[in-house]
Amino acid sequence: MELENLRAFLSVARFKSFSLAADDLCITQPAVSKRIAALEQAVDTVLFDRLGKTIQLTQAGRALLPRAEQIVRQLDEAKRALADLSGEVKGELRVATSHHVGLHKLPPVLRAFASNYPKVNLKFEFLDSEVALERVHRGQCELAVVTLAPDPIDQLEFEPLWQDNMRFVTSLDSDLSTNTNLLALSESPAILPDLSTYTGRLVKRCFDDRNLPLTINMTTNYLETIKMMVSVGLGWSVLPESMVDEQIRPLRLGGVVLTRRLGLARHQRRQLSNAAEAFYEVLRANRSP
């Protein structure tokens, strides 16, 4: 099996789209189709079901997926290890990050890294933290800079870099008192990240520990969107302290402290490339004191 055909297979499987896979691989859509056809011919089976505009893996495709990921990852790591013998910091570096961390924590890191290591082709993916950690776990990214999971994840190593203090907030003209309590909040509409996310679970646990329900008005994982909806009076929320400004009003809840850890995740069994090691060091230099 040709390596580039496997790359095309993995990209189509990830995006569930030939056109998006073509964009990801920087080739044409017909070229992607040709590579998939060649791979299907090589393994003598159909790997994708084409149901109108929907692309799905067949049973054979699902069986091939983890093996293709392993083959491509091992070849990429071997190639990178040989290139790194020179000690030069160059090549491609894939990093996953969340939108909030990317916007509010990484600009000085990226500025310093790009200035010091111009030969590195830095490829960023903006994803929910949970998805980003999964991509590191599967070997699809070397590093993730995200909201760290509250509990350990097998084979992943976490290094907290920033402590993100969270604040309960509401609109400037909300009926909620500045000195309120969780009971009053439980009876008022909330706008929160999905409760399956690390941040959503943090808030939910706070209410669950007191046997209080949550009245969810709507959910979105984009904190900037949550801030906007809070500011226009659609509900209260919990946001990083760094996002609190004159557009929203912070609430004071005696004895309630919510904090999440932001930081770096890497795979314990993966030797980092020179580029990843360099990025790691720049991150550490920009961590909170």
75 within a domain of the structure (yes/no): yes
Q: Which two tokens stand for residue 32?
A: 């992607």
209 within a domain of the structure (yes/no): yes
Q: Name the domain boundary from 85, 103, 133.
A: 85
Give the strand pairing for 48-51 and 215-219: unpaired
Q: Name the domain boundary from 85, 102, 124.
A: 85
Instruction: Name the DSSP letter for residue 238.
Output: E
Question: CA 3 to CA 5: how far, in whole Å?
Answer: 5
118 within a domain of the structure (yes/no): no
Domain containing residue 37: CATH number: 1.10.10.10
101 within a domain of the structure (yes/no): no
Q: Taking a C-beta distance cutoff of 8 angstroms, is the pair 106, 262 a contact?
A: no
Residues 6+ apart with CB under 8 A from 222: 99
Number of H helices, E strands in the chain: 11, 11
287 within a domain of the structure (yes/no): no
* Nearest residue to 164 via CA among 115, 199, 126: 199
Q: pLDDT tens digits for the chain (289 residues)?
A: 688 899 899 999 988 899 999 988 889 999 999 999 999 999 999 999 987 778 899 999 999 998 888 888 778 777 777 766 767 788 889 999 999 999 999 999 999 999 999 999 998 899 999 999 999 998 889 999 999 998 889 999 999 999 999 999 999 999 998 899 999 999 999 999 999 999 999 999 999 999 999 999 999 999 999 999 999 999 999 999 999 999 999 999 988 889 999 999 999 988 888 899 999 999 988 887 6
Question: CA 91 to CA 80: how far, in whole Å?
Answer: 8
Residues 6+ apart with CB under 8 A from 75: 3
Number of structural domains (the chain) is 2
187 within a domain of the structure (yes/no): yes
Is residue 48 classed as helix, strand or coil in its secondary structure? Answer: strand
142 within a domain of the structure (yes/no): no
Q: Taking a C-beta distance cutoff of 8 angstroms, is the pair 184, 264 a contact?
A: no
Full domain range(s) for residue 50: 1-85
Give the strand pairing for 91-97 and 120-126: parallel
Q: How far is CA 202 from CA 120, 122, 142, 145, 161, in A?
A: 36, 32, 27, 19, 19
pLDDT score at 58: 93
Q: Name the domain boundary from 85, 108, 133.
A: 85
pTM here? 0.72
pLDDT score at 84: 63
